[in-house]
Chains A and B, each alone.
Chain A
């Protein structure tokens, strides 16, 4: 935690800010990209949201209270930005975010930045049938292997509820995979 406090000090100090922010980008661009991509599904949209996320991080770092880990705070911003993005995009297209995500998953084979196999497509199709928050819990746990304690800080949900949600998600996914 002391390392993190020192790092935040470097991020806020104009003399060390540039180097510190480059390190922040290097360390967190992939995990935040994955988190956002899990929600918006499309690479180009993910790139936009990722940039917006880091802008928000840059702008609000001085207000970061340190009552959670830095990465949990950034993950929370990324998650909020991604959810806001798909909600706004779906509204502009006159549809729901669920319908939009379903359509994207149905067309994954045609996506230039998806090189998955049939089983990977099948799993994505199973996941998109889950309720929104359950999708997020499942993806964060299964794909990104985020600890429940960290997930609890990011999503503002108790560890017990997250474990229950993941357990339900796994059961539904397994039933779907067996049925096809």
Chain B
């Protein structure tokens, strides 16, 4: 192969060179499904033990609730926790653009970043040089 005349689309396709262990794909689905089944068993909810005196537990539960209720109503604050599954699903569906991220910053954050990231012009130029969207930015 004459490297001086190298043209990617004119040369025979160069494969990645990556390989896998023998039989990897033949065994993958069985191994994976077995792992999935075993993981499911581990997260089974433990059933409550059958006590001869369940009323002990009932009294304890009621007591805890009665004690906790006034504390909860005084200090409870609404917090929006992101369900991890919903968040993962959001990431799977959405690519968070830089524009969205910038919109989430206030001026104080931006000023702080400007001080912390004291980027020289040469560094910016180098980053732009390798930016595949450069032409789009220039058009804008």
How many interface residues does chain B have, given as a range? 35 or more
Min distance, Cβ B133 to any Cβ of chain A, angstroms: 6
Q: Establish whether residues A178 and B16, one from each chain, have CB atoms under 8 Å apart when the complex forms.
A: no
Query: Contacts A120-B16, A161-B133, A174-B8; is A43 near B95 (CB within 8 Å)?
Result: no
A-B contact count (CB 8 A): 111
Find chain A residues with CB under 8 A from B102 CB: none
Cβ-based interface call for B4 (8 A): yes
Q: How far is the CA of A76 from the CA of B25 in the complex (A)?
A: 21
Q: How far is the CA of A108 from the CA of B19 in the complex (A)?
A: 12
21 A–B contacts, CB within 8 A, in A order: A21-B33, A29-B25, A33-B25, A34-B18, A37-B18, A43-B18, A43-B20, A47-B24, A50-B28, A60-B85, A113-B21, A116-B16, A130-B130, A131-B132, A133-B132, A134-B132, A156-B95, A165-B133, A174-B7, A178-B5, A178-B6
* Chain B residues within CB distance 8 Å of chain A: 1, 3-9, 13-21, 24-25, 28-29, 32-33, 35-36, 85, 88-89, 91-95, 130-133, 135-136
* Chain A residues within CB distance 8 Å of chain B: 18, 21-22, 25-26, 29-30, 33-34, 37-38, 41, 43, 47, 50-51, 54-56, 58-60, 63, 65, 73, 76-77, 80, 108, 113-117, 119-121, 123-124, 130-131, 133-134, 137, 139, 142-143, 155-156, 161, 164-165, 168-170, 173-174, 177-178, 180
